[in-house]
Structure 1
Amino acid sequence: MRLWEKVAIITGGGQGIGEQIAKTFGREGAKIVVAELNEETGSKVSSELRDSGIESIFVKTDVSNEQSIIDMVESAKKQFGGIDILVNNAAIAVRKSVVDTTLDDWQKVMNVNLTGPFLGSKYTIPEMINRNGGSIINIGSWHAEKTITRFASYPAAKGGLQALTRQMALDYGEHNIRVNAVCPSMVDTPLERGTFATLPDPEDAYNQALDFQPMGRIGTVEDIANACLFFASDESVYVSGQSLMVDGAAINKLARPLMFD
């Protein structure tokens, strides 16, 4: 098992990509802290992990709130003795242009998508130093590199997250802490389906999206979880400061996403 006896915190672990990361890491021997704002989904995932023989706790966590992050870290330490892996996965999206984006919209997206990983890392890194190393995995996005119209705040936050990834890798490499980002394109998740649902013809938009995928499909949560497993394991022991696009080569093709016009 590649993560035997490792302790992993997964923010946004109650659904979608985060849920699958939690299950994938658990199958590889990790002890899982499901950090999730939604108590119903978070506790359900943690319960399912325990039912399958995986050690897990659920911690209700608002990643945009400093005290909530402190409590998350303390809960992990109390239950499992320390922290080896942090996956900063929790995210929200608001699809508006700069002019249409309210300050409240902007701050909510930044607080969850950029401040959240900052706070999670800030309070987890000292625990990793105490254990002589660790791995931080930020869930970025292809939107940091190539994005769509009327989507101001989300790509800005994800671009900042990639920069933060590189900076932390520089600062904490001497402590044997690796920091990398996994950057998905379209993935079949509740967040992605919610984006399609806001469009006039969701089915047509989805079909157009498929036309832009060189591999003929959008990503799965398993695709993203497997990339995260690589960064969490010793297989990536000399990889840090990197942003891995997990997109089926779509970023090389996508020039004008018609389904979002």
Structure 2
Amino acid sequence: MTQSNKVVIVTGATSGIGEAVVEAFAATGASLVLVGRDRERGQRALEAVKALKCQAELMLGDVADSAFADHVVTSSVARFGKVDVLVNSAGIIRRGSAVDTTDDDWRQTFDANVNGVFYFSRAAVKSMRQTGGGSIVNIASNVGLVGCPGLAAYCASKGAVVLLTQAMALDHAREQITINAVCPGAVDTPMLVSAHSKPVTAAEILQRNVDSIPQGRVASPKEIASLTLFLAGEGARHITGVAIPIDGGFTAG
């Protein structure tokens, strides 16, 4: 699969799934715009991309800032001439039931997981419709499709991403813009073991997730990146408005 002539923006590009997505597109020779908040991690990711002889740029900011989203897209077009692909991978997790979720936890979750997706997607569509189309892939979650205890804010935010994906896909289908959601289950990233209220080891968390998955293992970030790469490619031009679980059979149960 070639993406060598593609210009790709990836949010959350400096760790976890986003970093794996960057690596997958870089391997195809795409030009990349890496969006993140951590300068040190961002510089390392940028150097890794440039080592593959790809054109790349790092842009630091808050995805929940609509002006920043507009600036990233405008700057990408100014440098590379277009935006072909947007991957919305930035996100956070706050654990707790509704009664255990503070106002700040709720707002922060929706700022990062929903508002950022909306602002970047809106900006990207405005650009893509002028250049003949493109692809947006939103990293949602399987708990945006089915409920999960102890994750009220996270489930609600990822459910919002799924429905935003479907609504935007319908709005822009005739403009040759495909918009899809990837819905991972447990993935071997730092987020999987983060933000737990009670002391617990990474090994314990990993085993709990393994035990709940029919395949008996968690996914690697590279597996999520592979599906993302496919949905952004020419072989998926007739796929739009879908939310695809990639969770080892968890949602099948």
TM-score (norm 2): 0.95
Deviations 1:71-128 (A, max 9, x none): 2112211221110100011000110211121111111100110010000011111110
Mapped to 2, the partners of 1:22 and 1:165 lie a distance apart of: 21
Deviations 1:10-51 (A, max 9, x none): 000001100110110111121110011111112210111001
Q: What is the CA-CA distance between 1:61 and the residue it aligns to? A: 2.5
Structure 1 stretches lacking a partner, 5+ long: 254-261
CA contact (8 A) 1:162 1:243 kept: yes
Q: CA RMSD in A?
A: 1.5
1:126 corresponding residue in structure 2 = 126
Residue type of the alignment partner of 2:210:
L
CA contact (8 A) 2:94 2:195 kept: no
1:53 and 2:53 correspond: yes
1:217 corresponding residue in structure 2 = 217
1:146 corresponding residue in structure 2 = 146
1:13 partner SS: coil
Change (3 A) 1:205 1:190: closer
- Greater CA drift, 91-100 or 235-244: 91-100
Structure 2 stretches lacking a partner, 5+ long: none
1:180 partner SS: strand
CA contact (8 A) 2:109 2:153 kept: yes
1:160 partner SS: helix
1:190 corresponding residue in structure 2 = 190
Change (3 A) 1:53 1:201: closer
Residue type of the alignment partner of 1:105:
D
Residue type of the alignment partner of 1:225:
A
Q: Note the 1:89-238 alignment, pairs <5 A.
A: 89-195=89-195, 198-238=198-238
Q: What is the CA-CA distance between 1:199 and the residue it aligns to? A: 4.4
CA contact (8 A) 2:128 2:134 kept: yes
Mapped to 2, the partners of 1:51 and 1:74 lie a distance apart of: 25
Q: What is the CA-CA distance between 1:201 and the residue it aligns to? A: 4.9
How many residues are matched?
A: 253
1:70 corresponding residue in structure 2 = 70
Mapped to 2, the partners of 1:202 and 1:196 lie a distance apart of: 10
1:172 partner SS: helix
1:242 corresponding residue in structure 2 = 242
Mapped to 2, the partners of 1:198 and 1:122 lie a distance apart of: 39
CA contact (8 A) 1:169 1:179 kept: yes
TM-score (norm 1): 0.93
Q: What is the CA-CA distance between 1:239 and the residue it aligns to? A: 0.4
Change (3 A) 1:4 1:200: closer
CA contact (8 A) 1:199 1:205 kept: no
CA contact (8 A) 2:180 2:231 kept: yes
1:99 partner SS: helix
Mapped to 2, the partners of 1:116 and 1:245 lie a distance apart of: 21
Residue type of the alignment partner of 2:127:
E
Change (3 A) 1:218 1:196: farther
CA contact (8 A) 2:148 2:155 kept: no
2:26 partner SS: helix
Change (3 A) 1:16 1:200: closer
Residue type of the alignment partner of 2:12:
G
Percent identity of paired positions between Structure 1 and Structure 2: 32
